[in-house]
């Protein structure tokens, strides 16, 4: 395989540098060579993996395919393989269609996730971490993760790192952040993220706060009262008080230093999760783009650069695309990327292409999308749409929301937010856990797409979009070993025979994509095909060890099935109106003084206990 690696290296040297992620760090070591698709672990034969979109009737039954091996695509060499279906022609532009460099796919660390995983006995905990982060075929090999800075709606207890009061809603201004501390829940999170590095060290880790400490806001509350009169849930004063700009700078730098002291390198932050969301009932805070830029210009931008931490602007929906552009223009040199969420109706990811035209060297990411109460027996495309569509239009990676819950989708805030956000893992007890369909859907991407891979333009074969009744989606990723990971979403109510070709090679691959499935094809590099073909020819002209279709060979005849009726739930925001009764938010009458003169004094750096 020496010749293969040299050929791959030569190709990488000559490759276009469209929208690179080269400047972004990782939480630990460099990419593990054991991950499939790396130069040291190349794809050697065509493979296919499939997960059914239908939610199983029970998490405890195995009546659907989940990352199951399926019949791999075969080199067609010009014939139709005997299929009675008219093949769907898929064309990848590998000559001129190189697009963004990929970071990876993953999920999110929340207090809910940490609390549930920490309930598991050590041996069971080890199994879960392996299944989340170990390389294929053991685990999902997730390479991009997000975590909450302080609490979120997926927290049973609410807190920031500097409440300075008897509770999260009763804090007084702490101008020098003398009371800054990760606290019990914050410490538990950094500890488990550090453990994550023992299973996969090259994770790209993003930190996002849901609110600053309450005393940094105009209403003085970390969690504002819930208003649900009419259609409005927003609190106009649930917003950042800019007189505390310097304190916000110190808050982020202390958090980064505290994590570093505990052995965790944070690679990127967003200044606020959903900065245009100022609801009550769970931690939220309005942060105007001008205020976000001013925080960067007041010292945080320089502090991030000193710590090798990137800044991702925005972290909200695609319907307000001007926000990250305003931050970039007002804080030049301090923004490294843009972050988007999936909750706009309908999520218009062409916005990412517009953003790329304006800022071609600024990578973009889909940092949050949730799956809300999946219904047994229904088709669910939440993960597929959150990962495929943004990638198609320029995203370098995606993270789903909560990674693990208990059997009641908790713990979560009792006053508002998401009461039924589904994760990849359900912790049933200290000795048992269940992998949901989301786990397998995420694995269809994260197991097979490596950091540094390239997305390529699909010239032909995609049908429909999120606004149409049926879709046939395709993304084509070229990994560092020059193999291809081609992901297909088939929601057309019929099985499709696919003939896959490239603009830069004569190879034509043929295979079947079943109805209502997410399917990933792994296609070896041309160099591997050449070497494999040479070995076959030197041994036996009749060898069938590699999945070729010979000159006169045929596959089993495929009969086109009749369409079947399916349903596709739409993505749901984490602020979905909950079905269960909500409790009133405590201590919402607390007030903090306004127009405080903020004296700055040197403070000591935090240490990890």
CATH number for position 375: 3.20.20.80
H-only helix segments in 365-522:
382-393, 437-446
294/193 same-domain check: yes
% pLDDT > 70, the chain: 82
Predicted pLDDT at 235:
82
Rounded mean pLDDT of the chain?
Answer: 88
Q: What is the pLDDT of residues 559-592, one digit of tens each?
A: 455 444 444 444 545 554 555 667 777 777 667 7
- How are beta strands 371-372 and 404-405 bridged, if at all? unpaired
How is 508-523 classified by DSSP, letter by letter? EEEEEE-TTEEEEEEE
Shared domain for 83 and 146, answered yes or no, is: no
Q: Is residue 109 part of a domain?
A: no
pLDDT at 227: 79
Q: Is residue 218 in a domain?
A: yes
Last residue of a domain, one of 531, 553, 585: 531
pLDDT tens-place string over residues 6-21: 444 444 433 444 678 8
What's residue 236's pLDDT? 80
d(CA 484, CA 117): 34
Q: Clarify whether residues 374 and 293 are in a common domain.
A: yes
Indicate whether 163 belongs to any domain: yes
Q: Is residue 427 part of a domain?
A: no
Q: Are residues 481 and 372 in the same domain?
A: no
**pLDDT digit string, tens, across residues 248-281:** 999 999 999 999 999 999 999 999 999 999 999 9
Q: What is the pLDDT of residue 11?
A: 45
In the DSSP assignment, the letter for residue 570 is P
Q: How many CA atoms lie within 13 A of 609 on its CB side?
A: 7
Q: Is the pLDDT of residue 30 over 70?
A: no
The reply to whether 506 and 410 lie within a common domain is: no
Question: Do both 91 and 179 map to the same domain?
Answer: no
CATH number, domain with residue 87: 2.60.40.1180
The residue from 505, 531, 557 where one domain ends is 531
Q: Which residues are catalytic?
A: 274, 368
Q: How confident is the model at residue 537 (pLDDT cuts 50, 70, 90)?
A: low
Instruction: Report if residue 27 sits inside a domain.
Output: no
Range of the domain at 291: 140-416
Could you say which DSSP state residue 299 is in?
A: I
376 and 267, same domain (yes or no):
yes
Query: Residue 314: is its pLDDT beyond 90?
Result: yes
Of residues 6 and 497, the one with the higher pLDDT is 497
The residue to which tokens 């990327």 are assigned: 337
Regarding predicted confidence, which is higher, 4 or 70? Answer: 70
In-domain check, residue 377: yes
With respect to residue 219, please indicate whether it lies within any of the assigned structural domains: yes
Q: How far apart are CA 511 and CA 498, in angstroms?
A: 5
Give the pLDDT of residue 565. 43
Total domains in the fold of the chain = 2
Sign of CA dihedral 249, 251, 254, 260: negative
Lowest mean pLDDT among 13-27, 382-396, 411-425, 592-606: 592-606
Clarify whether residues 319 and 174 are in a common domain: yes
Last residue of a domain, one of 511, 531, 551: 531
Question: For residue 256, what are its two tokens?
Answer: 């980064």
pLDDT band per the 50, 70, 90 thresholds, residue 3 = very low
Q: 552 is written with which tokens?
A: 């006169």
Inter-CA distances, 455 with 119, 402, 436, 598, Å: 39, 26, 28, 48
Q: Is residue 344 part of a domain?
A: yes
Would you call the peptide bond into 479 cis, given omega within 30 degrees of 0 as the criterion? no
Looking at residue 191, its pLDDT comes to 98
557 vs 159, more confident: 159
Task: Give the Cα separation of 430 and 288 in Å (integer).
Answer: 43
Contact in structure between 265 and 255 (CB atoms under 8 Å): no
For residues 69 and 149, state if they share a domain: no
295 and 375 assigned to the same domain:
yes
Residues 93 and 155 in one domain: no
pLDDT above 50: residue 517: yes
Whether residue 326 is found in the same domain as residue 208: yes
The answer for residues whose C-beta is within 8 angstroms of residue 51's C-beta and 6 or more apart is 64, 65, 66, 67, 68, 437, 440, 441, 443, 444, 517, 518, 519
């Amino acid at each position: 395989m020496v010749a293969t690696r040299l050929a791959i290296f030569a190709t990488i040297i000559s490759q276009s540098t469209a929208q690179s992620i080269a400047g972004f760090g990782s939480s630990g070591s460099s990419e593990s060579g054991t991950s499939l698709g790396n130069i040291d672990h190349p794809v050697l034969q065509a493979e296919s993996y499939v997960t059914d979109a239908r939610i199983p009737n029970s998490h405890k039954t195995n009546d659907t395919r989940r990352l199951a091996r399926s019949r791999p695509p075969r080199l067609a060499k010009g014939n139709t393989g005997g299929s009675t279906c008219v093949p769907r022609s898929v064309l990848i532009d590998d000559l001129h269609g190189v697009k963004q460099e990929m970071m990876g796919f993953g999920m999110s660390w929340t207090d809910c996730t940490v609390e549930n995983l920490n309930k598991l006995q050590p041996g069971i905990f080890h199994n879960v971490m392996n299944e989340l982060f170990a390389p294929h075929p053991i685990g999902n090999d997730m390479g991009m993760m997000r975590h909450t800075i302080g609490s979120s709606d997926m927290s049973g207890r609410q807190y920031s790192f500097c409440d300075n009061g008897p509770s999260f809603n009763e804090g007084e201004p702490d101008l020098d952040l003398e009371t800054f501390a990760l606290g019990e829940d914050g410490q538990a999170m950094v500890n488990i993220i550090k453990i994550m590095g023992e299973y996969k060290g090259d994770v790209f880790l993003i930190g996002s706060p849901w609110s600053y400490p309450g005393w940094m806001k105009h209403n003085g509350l970390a969690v504002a009262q819930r208003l649900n009169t009419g259609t409005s849930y927003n609190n106009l004063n649930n917003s950042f008080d800019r007189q505390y700009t310097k304190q916000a700078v110190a808050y982020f730098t202390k958090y980064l230093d505290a994590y570093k002291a505990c052995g965790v390198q944070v690679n990127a932050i967003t200044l606020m999760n959903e900065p245009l969301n100022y609801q009550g009932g769970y931690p939220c805070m309005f942060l105007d783009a001008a205020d976000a830029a001013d925080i960067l210009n007041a010292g945080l931008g320089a502090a991030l650069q000193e710590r090798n931490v990137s800044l991702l602007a925005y972290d909200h929906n695609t319907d307000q695309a001007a926000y990250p552009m305003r931050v970039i223009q007002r804080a030049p040199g301090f923004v490294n990327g843009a972050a988007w969420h999936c909750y706009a109706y309908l999520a218009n990811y062409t916005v990412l292409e517009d953003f790329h035209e304006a800022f071609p060297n600024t990578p973009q990411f889909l940092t949050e999308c949730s799956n809300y109460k999946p219904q047994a027996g229904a088709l669910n495309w939440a993960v597929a749409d959150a990962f495929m569509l943004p990638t198609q239009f320029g995203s370098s990676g995606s993270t789903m929301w909560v990674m693990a819950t208990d059997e009641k989708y908790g713990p979560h805030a009792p006053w508002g937010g998401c009461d039924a956000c589904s994760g990849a893992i359900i912790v049933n007890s200290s000795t048992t856990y269940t992998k949901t369909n989301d786990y397998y859907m995420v694995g269809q991407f994260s197991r097979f797409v490596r950091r540094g891979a390239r997305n390529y333009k699909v010239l032909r074969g995609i049908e429909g979009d999120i606004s149409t009744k049926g879709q046939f989606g395709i993304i084509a990723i070229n990994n560092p070993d020059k193999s291809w990971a081609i992901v297909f979403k088939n929601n057309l109510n019929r099985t499709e025979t696919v003939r896959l070709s490239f603009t830069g090679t004569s190879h034509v691959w043929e295979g079947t994509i079943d109805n209502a499935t997410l399917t990933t094809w792994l296609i070896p590099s041309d160099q591997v095909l050449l070497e494999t073909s040479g070995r076959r020819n030197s041994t036996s002209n009749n060898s069938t060890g590699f999945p070729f279709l010979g000159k006169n060979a045929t596959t089993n005849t495929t009969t086109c099935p009749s369409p079947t009726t399916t349903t596709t739930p739409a993505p749901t925001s984490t602020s979905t109106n909950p079905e269960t009764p909500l409790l009133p938010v405590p201590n919402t009458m607390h007030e903090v003084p306004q127009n405080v003169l903020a004296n700055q004094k040197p403070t000591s750096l935090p240490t990890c206990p």
